[in-house]
Amino acid sequence: MPASEPIIWQFSLSTVNAIVWAALLLLALWFGLRLRWGRLVALIAFLTFDLVVFGGFVRLTDSGLGCPDWPGCYGQLLPAQAKPQIEQAIVEQGGTHGPVSHGKAWIEMLHRYLASFIGAMIVVMLVRALLAQRRGAAPGAVAANAGWQWPALLLIVVIAQGLFGKWTVTLKLMPIVVTTHLMGGMLLLALLVWFWTRQRQREGDLRAMAVAVPTATRTLLWVAIAVLAAQIFLGGWVSTNYAVTACADFPGCNGSLAPEVNWGEGFAFARALGRNADGSFLSIDALRAIHWAHRLGALVAAIVIAWTAIALGRAHPALARQAWLIVLALIAQIAVGIGAVLLSLPLALATAHNALAALLLSTLVVAACRVSGVREWQPFTVSTNLRKAR
């Protein structure tokens, strides 16, 4: 790449590798066109959940710069093709403990392959929805009933997500870019889970049926999603700034419930990894502020989400199972988060913490989708239910 080329526009694949990459994406498109619509939607949602979890694994194993260019690996499609360049980078950094290694290169590229496949599947979804609408699909055709607007929104989000994934690499793991990339993944997952739940409703799945609840309960549910989103951002900010070990005990921070923190330095977003805007190193007080904010946010999120689950369970018996799923995901998330701190962030627990955040978000989104389709509500009683059945 010429030195004068802006780093945000980097495209490192050689012509031959770019053609192979495009051919593989076309093969993915062919595969998606052959899937039944419902299976296509479910597959994309499932793979996006996997992508979010695997993205956390990439970050936690410091593999984000395993291939320091984009979208290739030293201009190649496979890390195996870039073996000489990787070996040279290992020598220059003084060993495999640095950002580049063969294992990290494969981890990073597998993440990119999966993201590319998901993007291709979303293109298939949009094409099929547009064709179904244009042809005036037969009555009951699910793709037509689903409309093209939602797949179009998903495509916009996945394109933006791909750009942030690229800037994560080319801007050298700038914390705000990496955290935004995480939030984009969570947004894409939430949108797909919503779309998948609507699809299940169209297919008559009773476990996804729309349920009327009081306006207060519906509002509380959306507040819980917003609070969880803020908490996920704080968790991402902890991870991208490597602030997990800034507080090594629980419930305090290094033996104190009022640790010394520097909020302004910790939450200055326009800076490089580990540095302040003036180039100086980030202080330990700033790292404590980042970690402590996540702890305080976790307390607020736990209270709001637990309250929401109780309200959902009381609003309608059909939501009792969903409420329990929310509670179980919340309890597991809290336990894993505490364990990650006390055990100094073992990789398995840290990855599980990220996965459970995605799972908790998914359970709340499913609930929100189920209560957003019906507005008329009345207290549920046995006699009311019997009258409706007749």
Active-site residue set: 108
- Here the tokens at position 145 are 């009933």
Task: Return the C-alpha torsion angle 147, 149, 150, 153, nearest 10.
Answer: 160
Cβ atoms of residues 21 and 80 within 8 Å: no
Task: Read off φ and ψ for residue 344, nearest 5 degrees.
Answer: 60, 45
Q: Encode 270-282: b = buried (16+ Cβ within 10 Å), e = exposed.
A: ebebeeeeeeeeb
Q: In 35-148, which residue ranges form alpha helices assigned H by DSSP?
A: 37-60, 83-93, 102-135, 142-146
User: What is the CA 4 to chain-centroid distance, rounded?
Assistant: 34
Spatial contact of 122 and 148, defined as CB atoms under 8 Å apart: no
Contact status, residue 305 vs residue 228, Cβ threshold 8 Å: yes
Q: Write down the H helix ranges in 136-174.
A: 142-146, 149-170
